[in-house]
Amino acid sequence: MKLKEKDFAVNHMGTVTIIPEEPDDIWILYNIINPGDYVTADTSRKVHHQLNDAKTTTASRVKLSIHLKVTCRDFHKDSSTLRIHGRNLEPNDYIAVGSFHTLTLERNKPFELHKKLWKDDVVEALQERENHEACPDAELAVILFQQDHAEIYLIGKGITAMVSKVETSSSRSGGRNSSSSSPSSSNSKNVFFREVFTAFIKHVDLNKVKNTVIASEDSKKDEFRRFMISEAKRMKMRRIEENIGRIVVAAGGDCNGNLKDLLGEGTVMNLMKDSKVGLQIRALKKVWDMVSSDSDRACYGPKSVKSAQEMGAIETLLISDELYRSNEVAIRKRHGCLVKAVRESGGDALVYSSMHVMAEQLQQLTGIAAILRFPLPVIDDEDDDDAY
């Protein structure tokens, strides 16, 4: 995310020009743009023109700038766009003042955001995104072979995205294939591997992505890595040859074709040990294992977590951004205070994007959990609405 013409400060009125660059930038914007804010952006509208004979009309698209007072907004995960609905505040030749319109915020499209009051968590969120590297680097690429297809994922910066899915020829033909030992089967596998390799080259920049993991429940992972090395040499692809040491094979036998299970495998965790994503995955896996074994060193649910913080017991807080950046003022404020209190007491606070690979698992723990410094008695977590 790029910030330009910055004229804002915590607890003051201000304006900034924002250029979102990554899908997670759009998600952050969804959480920080609220009803009552002001958004200005360029757009286009279809305009009808009446000709001289008054019976014939033509249509054309004109570019214009719209200044909206936000009434609501909708996040579209599949396209990573944000639709802003509101009233137009400035007159122009095509749109009346006070009329309702919609702006679509998307990657690499600048817009201006004005707030009457910039809260500290909003400023912090913007600054955190701005301090990320400009290019959308992923921390890890995963090639996960299933029985009849391969999935390629990019993982990092709170986002997990499947960037490609490549089907086998037998899958595309409805399952009609020959014996696995036949020459035609061998040729089909090479065709399939070549398609996976092409998709990998298209979507993964090894100059930016730190590591790549190849996984399957059978021998495909090892066969594909050998194919990749051979193909890179044949095509003289130096970036593959120079980075082949960072392309590793995971056991995969225990992952059941599941990405979440694969990310908990030892080889993969070791690759991500120093990354933010790795820290988040390890923390959630640790909480999940503790809760499953009824450990008194972990808790989840608003009431239990609140009690743990009051006793200074939280070592690591895990919270979904649906709670931390809720559009409900009261919910957002109390969770913001909780995160601040945990950090001030020397603990860690990890905020999980809804697009994180482990987001669903955290949601099963109500969206908030904690690893504790010392054991606490079990707290009945009913009546969570009154927890804070």
Q: Going residue by residue through the chain, which has 388 residues, state the pLDDT in tens, using 9 for 90 and above.
A: 899 989 999 999 999 999 998 777 888 899 899 999 999 999 888 777 666 666 667 778 888 899 999 999 998 867 778 999 999 999 888 888 999 999 999 988 999 999 999 998 899 889 888 875 433 557 889 999 998 899 998 887 666 778 888 988 765 555 544 444 444 567 888 899 999 999 999 889 888 888 899 999 889 999 999 999 999 999 999 888 888 888 999 865 555 667 877 877 777 777 777 777 778 888 998 999 999 987 889 999 999 999 999 999 999 999 998 898 776 768 878 998 999 999 999 999 998 877 677 788 899 999 999 999 999 876 665 544 455 5
Q: Are 32 and 124 in contact (CB under 8 A)?
A: no
Q: Are 49 and 64 in contact (CB under 8 A)?
A: no
Strands 14-19 and 100-105 turn out to be unpaired
User: What is the pTM (predicted TM-score) of this model?
Assistant: 0.54
The predicted structure's pLDDT at residue 8:
92
**Tokens, residue 308:** 């743990």
Beta-bridge mates of residue 317 = 349, 370
The predicted structure's pLDDT at residue 175:
52
**Tokens, residue 70:** 């936000």
Distance between CA atoms of residues 192 and 345, nearest Å = 54
Which residues, 6+ apart, have CB-to-CB distance to 85 below 8 Å?
A: 68, 70, 71, 72, 73, 74, 100, 101, 102
Instruction: Compute the half-sphere exposure of residue 233: CA atoms within 13 Å on the CB side of its CA.
Output: 6
Q: How far apart are the first and last CA of the chain?
A: 33
Distance between CA atoms of residues 375 and 294, nearest Å = 11
Domains, the chain, with CATH or none = 2-48+57-131 (2.30.30.870), 140-169+184-272 (3.30.420.60), 280-372 (3.30.1330.30)
Distance between CA atoms of residues 285 and 271, nearest Å = 16
The predicted structure's pLDDT at residue 182:
44
Q: What phi and psi, each to the nearest 5 degrees, are found at residue 304?
A: -65, -45
Distance between CA atoms of residues 177 and 195, nearest Å = 18
Distance between CA atoms of residues 18 and 130, nearest Å = 10
83-88: long-range contacts at Cβ-Cβ below 8 A with a sequence spacing of 24 or more? 84/33, 84/39, 86/39
Q: Are 201 and 238 in contact (CB under 8 A)?
A: no
Task: Report the largest interatomic distance among the alpha carbons of the chain, rounded to a whole angstrom.
Answer: 85
Which residues, 6+ apart, have CB-to-CB distance to 30 below 8 Å?
A: 73, 75, 82
Q: Are 70 and 39 in contact (CB under 8 A)?
A: yes
**Tokens, residue 90:** 């400035």
Instruction: Compute the half-sphere exposure of residue 139: CA atoms within 13 Å on the CB side of its CA.
Output: 22
Instruction: Decide: helix, strand or coil at residue 27.
Output: helix
Which residues, 6+ apart, have CB-to-CB distance to 61 below 8 Å?
A: 44, 45, 46, 47
